[in-house]
Amino acid sequence: MSDDADKIEVMINGFREKVPNGSTIAELILKYDEVDSAMMVEKNGRYVYPQDYDTTQPEAEDVLEFIHPDFGG
């Protein structure tokens, strides 16, 4: 059995990543060291409320963006 059997492909901040199927947004924030109190998360272009991070699970081919507004621009 392949190591990738329980993984799905998603886009995270523009990079294709394989993540464990069933991961939550909260788990991915920790995995990718994106912890920032001002950070916002988008899933497929839609805002995810922080109170939903523990229950929102990306599906294969979803696009996640971890947005840090304090970076300026």
What's the pLDDT score for residue 37? 83
Structural domain includes residue 44: yes
Q: How many whole angstroms separate alpha carbon 9 and alpha carbon 59?
A: 8
Structural domain includes residue 61: yes
Three-class SS state of 51: helix
Structural domain includes residue 25: yes
What distance, in Å, lies between the first and last C-alpha atoms of the chain? 46
Structural domain includes residue 2: no
Query: pTM here?
Result: 0.86
CA 46 to chain centre: 12
What domain count does the chain have?
1
Q: How many whole angstroms separate alpha carbon 9 and alpha carbon 19?
A: 6
Structural domain includes residue 1: no
Structural domain includes residue 59: yes
pLDDT in tens, the chain (73 residues): 456 789 999 999 999 999 999 999 999 999 999 988 889 999 999 999 999 999 999 999 999 999 988 755 5
Its domain, for residue 47, covers 7-71
